Amino acid sequence: MTTEFSWPAHFESGISLRWVEANGQRFEVAEAGNGKKLALFLHGFPELHYSWRFQMPLLADMGYRVWAPNMRGYGGNSKPDTVRDYALDHLCADIAGLIDASGADEVTFFAHDWGAIVAWAFAIQKIRPLKKLIIMNVPHPMVGQREIRHWRQLRRSWYIFFFQIPWLPEKLLSRNNGEPIRQAFSNMACDQTNFTPEALDVYARAATRPGSLKSMVNYYRALLRHRDTIDIGDGTI
């Protein structure tokens, strides 16, 4: 099946796109390399599989089969309609389905932001065996629960509460053809050299596809409204 996503030409070398059916959902997966060792890259908000375009060839050269899926609701993926559809139990089941579909004998996670939240939950629950877990930008869930009780972290997490408002966050993020999505990268990146206008357009076009922003914001809504869908116990991996 062909994909509607278009990578800038100079990032296409060694990376192909495919559709994978998993957990009753349809995922667009960027792929590089081959073999039975899977490096699974999980992106965050408001990103895509495209975020891993520089790392994927490196891991492929190291002998991994590399998969970087769009997360549920992102890009051209399936977009379930309700907030409950984006709770952690469903997100973890998506990853289990993708691992099963890959046929890999060994799995290493590389995860950032929302992908890291899912990866922590997945690893703690031991849903599938993992060889390694590489987390970026998100602390262990028990640390997160501790820190959110303090005003300094609560204040920094203001956007999670703003995203609970119906329809307004989507409206604001979509204005001017997704300009706030572009700014989310260009204004906050420590190194802006990789966030060219061409790259920012990739993210903005994906986010402004019908239903995408609702799905993306629903992750945050489900985080508060359906936070008890998984049991992380004492957080031991």
What CATH number does the domain containing 51 carry? Answer: 3.40.50.1820
pLDDT of residue 49: 97
Task: Measure the CA dihedral 123/124/128/131, to 10°.
Answer: 50
**Is the distance from CB of 70 to CB of 41 less than 8 angstroms?**
no
What does DSSP assign to residue 23?
Answer: T
Residue 237 maps to a domain: no
* 46 Cα distance to chain centroid: 8
**Is the distance from CB of 44 to CB of 115 less than 8 angstroms?**
yes
pLDDT of residue 191: 86
pLDDT of residue 7: 60
Q: State the Cα–Cα distance between residues 6 and 202, nearest whole angstrom.
A: 8
Q: Give, for 107, the enclosing helix (H) or strand (E).
A: strand 106-112
Based on the structure, what is the number of domains in the chain? 1
Residue 88 belongs to domain spanning = 9-225
pLDDT of residue 68: 98
pLDDT of residue 3: 46
In single-letter form, the type of residue at position 116 comes to A
Residue 234 maps to a domain: no
- Give me 9's structure tokens: 């030409």
Cβ-count burial of 32 within 10 angstroms (0-12 exposed, 13-18 middle, 19+ buried)? buried
pLDDT of residue 188: 85
Residue 230 maps to a domain: no
Residue 127 maps to a domain: yes
Residue 77 maps to a domain: yes
Residue 167 maps to a domain: yes
pLDDT of residue 198: 93
| Local confidence pLDDT in tens for the 237 residues of the chain | 334 566 665 455 789 999 999 999 999 999 999 999 999 999 999 999 999 999 999 999 999 999 999 999 999 999 999 999 999 999 999 999 999 999 999 999 999 999 999 999 999 999 999 999 999 999 999 999 999 999 999 999 999 999 999 999 999 999 999 999 999 998 888 888 889 999 999 999 999 999 999 999 999 999 999 999 999 998 999
Residue 78 maps to a domain: yes
